[in-house]
Amino acid sequence: MPVVISILGRPGSEKGTQCRLLSQKFRLSHISIGDVLREEMERGEESPHADIIRANMLAGKIGPIEITMAILKNRITKLMEGGTQVFILDGFPRSIEQSTHFQTLMGPIKSLLVLQCSPETSFHRLLPRGRFDDQTQAIRNRLLTFETTTSLVVDDFRKHKKLTVVDAEPSVAKIHEGLVTIVSSVAELLH
């Protein structure tokens, strides 16, 4: 069974950057659900799901759970076959349904770290990136999804005492410093 740490936060909270840095520091396998779905979408006609994924990403919406879970499970299974046991999930789960489905299929998520920044900071960080799903309306929809749907996941992990909130307003280096301390304190997850 994999050991899983999840990182959530508003779009633009530096999740991807922090997950990459943590995966290098602690030798964790970093899986960005957004990157995995974009890779699937870029397969074009080879993927029966490309159009659905593209439409949901452009709208800033969560896609069908069956598609997301099948793609994510496949990625984790392949990495486990190669010997990887500890994973950091970037931007997942975004809904209670995803959380429940994942934990039923793959085992418990050991810890949820939430990078907290203001909507203004999110917007300010996202616009210059220029990713296809970083258009103004898609950003607004992604922020709304975080506030309405993903916040329920945060509340659920808080209730189960598996939540740590991290200030994501400062610099990348300051955020990373705080996360290293937190992840180090959960050292038993990394062995």
* Sequence-ordered list of residues with C-beta below 8 angstroms from that of 46, at least 6 positions apart, any chain: none
Average pLDDT of span 48-52: 93
**pLDDT at residue 81 greater than cutoff 70:** yes
Share of the chain above pLDDT 90, in %: 64
The rounded distance, in Å, linking the Cα atoms of 65 and 45 is 21
The answer to whether 167 and 175 are in contact (CB under 8 A) is: yes
Mean pLDDT of 87-98: 94
136-145 vs 50-59: helix crossing angle, rounded to 10: 90
- Three-state SS for 163? strand
Which residue shows structure tokens 């029966």? Answer: 48
**pLDDT, position 90:** 95
Q: What letter represents residue 38's amino acid?
A: R
Per-residue pLDDT, averaged over 13-41, amounts to: 93
Residue 188 has pLDDT above 60, yes or no: no
Classify residue 27 by burial, with Cβ atoms within 10 Å: 0-12, 13-18, 19+.
Answer: exposed
Residue 190 above 70 pLDDT? no
Q: 118-135, pLDDT tens digit by residue?
A: 988 987 888 765 555 556
Residue 108: per-residue pLDDT: 95
Which token pair is 76? 């984790």
d(CA 77, CA 55): 27
Q: Distance between CA atoms of 28 and 20, rounded to whole angstroms?
A: 9
Which pLDDT band holds residue 17 (cuts at 50, 70, 90)?
very high
pTM of the full predicted structure? 0.87
State how far the Cα of 124 lies from the Cα of 167, in Å rounded to an integer: 16
So what's the pLDDT on residue 123?
A: 78
Q: Does 3 have pLDDT greater than 60?
A: yes
Going by pLDDT thresholds of 50, 70 and 90, the confidence category of residue 72 is very high
Say whether pLDDT at 136 is over 90.
Answer: no
Contact at 8 Å (CB) between 35 and 45?
Answer: no
In whole angstroms, give the CA distance from residue 102 to residue 22: 22
Residue 19's DSSP bridge partners are: none
